[in-house]
Amino acid sequence: MEFDLIVKNGIIASASDVIDGQDIGIRDGKIICIGTALKSTSLSTTVIDAQGGYITPGGVDSHVHLEQPNCPMGDTWETGSRSAVCGGTTTVIAFVSQARQHDSLIPLVEEYAARAEGNSYCDYGLHVILTNPTMKILSEEIPVLAKEHGITSVKLYMTYDPMILRDREILNIMMASRKLGMTTMIHAENHDMIDLIIETLEAEGKTEPYYHSVSRPKIAEAEATYRAISLAELMDAPILLVHVSSQTAAQHIRDAQTRLLPIYGETCPQYLWLLAERLKRTKEDHFHGAQAVCSPPLRETPAETDAMWRGIANGTFTTFSSDHAASKYHIEGGKKLGLVDGKPFFRKIPNGLPGLETRLPLLFKGVLEGRISIHDFVRVACSSPAKLYGLPNKGAILPGMDGDLCIWYPQGKMESFSLSNGMLHHDIDYTPYEDMEFANWPRYTILRGKIVWDRDGEGLTGKIGDGQYIKRGGSLLPGPRNVFVNEWRPPV
């Protein structure tokens, strides 16, 4: 049998099993065989010895912001996707963003797709952010995006003045998405609670970065999460609550799932590892906390981070995404937009953290520390995001799937190191995980059978343009159940 690549001596991990002693054979970008002692008839076959390390599917990061207005001085498609493959991720899904004044989505999609084309190191898909969901867009354009462009998910916001949608608008979107088998992603925070707190904090002169966390309390996320679930239950529509950060919000999702509602949850690395104290000033830099400003904010106690780990382990969270929304810190125009005449205003700080490259290593630390299993790792970082977002050829190591792999070091075989930003491949001038210790890191990243990251060799071996656009299908996870709250039915 002829192969382009054979991977030997690894432990193949899936969301349910581990397989030891089997080789993986890849040809023409696809896994074509898993078997014992594979041999190739081709002299040009590349053979990788995994040396007993885990082999996981290439990571699927389904929540990434690249070259978007909300990330000033942030990563481009080139630099963001480059950092993705260096951290074991082979597929990202980024966002086409609609502003209020845009009355058509098609030109926005075409323009943003042109930015990505030929500039990505990894495969990619697109979501659409809706801020002006006119009936024309919902009835005419969304079906075109789903059927012709392969964009089968939309994101909406329950907060932020430029983006917030009323409940009726959310219901209209759910109705349209349900008809097309699309997934609705929701940023759930109570806008009016936040607006009131910000107004009073500013009146009291409390404008330093730390007060960002005070202005967006857990109850604001919990209320909006419950409300979003209620709207979805009325419409019998599947939704994903993005970047969940707090125990109560996670419990609302868990409760809905126990009632078999198609409610899905996502959390992110920052909500596993970082606390609100990171937003405080340091002796050297009173604005330092701006580096950790994101929404929802980092929470106050380890009880919240522990709850996020539990949510991964018990299945509450379907996906684990970076929510990479990075802005540079040390130059004007990035995070320092929050400094006005030298005075900090947390409300003006661009939200978001860098995290594309560190996403999988940070989650793998949880495997090594016994917080989650290797099956949990694969489920939330690879297989479930592929299923939820209609990527049938991604997220699993099986014959017929794309040859996307992440090969880890055998336990104890990699020298532990303390992370510094200079080790990373993004174009951001800091990492919130500076000085964190890592005992494992992706040794190889393989994209459709091509080695694009070789940590012990040349490092980045992939090329710009290796990534291909993926037209996605509908979700492969449970959707509408045709169960309603009373005799009323959404219009078909």
The DSSP call for residue 476 is S
Q: What are phi and psi of 256, to 5 degrees?
A: -65, -40
Q: Using CA atoms, how far apart are residues 431 and 418, in angstroms rounded to an integer?
A: 12
Q: Using CA atoms, how far apart are residues 49 and 26, in angstroms rounded to an integer?
A: 14
Which ranges in 236-289 belong to alpha helices (H)?
A: 247-258, 270-273
pLDDT tens by residue, 54-82:
999 999 999 999 998 777 889 999 999 99
Q: Using CA atoms, how far apart are residues 119 and 461, in angstroms rounded to an integer?
A: 15
pLDDT of the residue at 112: 97
DSSP string computed for 60-71: EEEEE--S-TTS
Distance of CA 414 to the CA centre of its chain: 27
Q: Using CA atoms, how far apart are residues 94 and 67, in angstroms rounded to an integer?
A: 9
pLDDT tens by residue, 201-252:
999 999 999 999 999 999 999 999 999 999 999 999 999 999 999 999 999 9
Is residue 492 predicted with pLDDT exceeding 90? no
Q: Using CA atoms, how far apart are residues 7 and 160, in angstroms rounded to an integer?
A: 47
Strand residue runs (E) in 106-209: 123-129, 153-157, 183-187
Tell me whether strands 89-97 and 59-64 are parallel, antiparallel or unpaired. Answer: parallel
Tell me whether strands 343-344 and 339-340 are parallel, antiparallel or unpaired. Answer: antiparallel
Helix, strand, or coil (residue 364): helix
Angle between helices 167-180 and 218-235 (to 10 degrees): 50
Residue 168: pLDDT band with limits 50, 70, 90 = very high
Residue 487: pLDDT band with limits 50, 70, 90 = very high
pLDDT of the residue at 72: 81
Structure tokens at 167: 């409940």
- Amino acid 216 reads R
pLDDT tens by residue, 387-415:
999 999 999 999 999 999 999 999 999 99
Q: Residue holding tokens 């074509």?
A: 32
The backbone region for 342, taken as left when phi is positive above 0, alpha when psi lies in -120 to 50, beta otherwise, is left
pLDDT of the residue at 1: 87
pLDDT of the residue at 180: 94
Is residue 110 predicted with pLDDT exceeding 80? yes
Cβ neighbours of residue 176 closer than 8 Å, sequence gap 6 or more: 138, 139, 142, 182
Q: Using CA atoms, how far apart are residues 380 and 61, in angstroms rounded to an integer?
A: 10
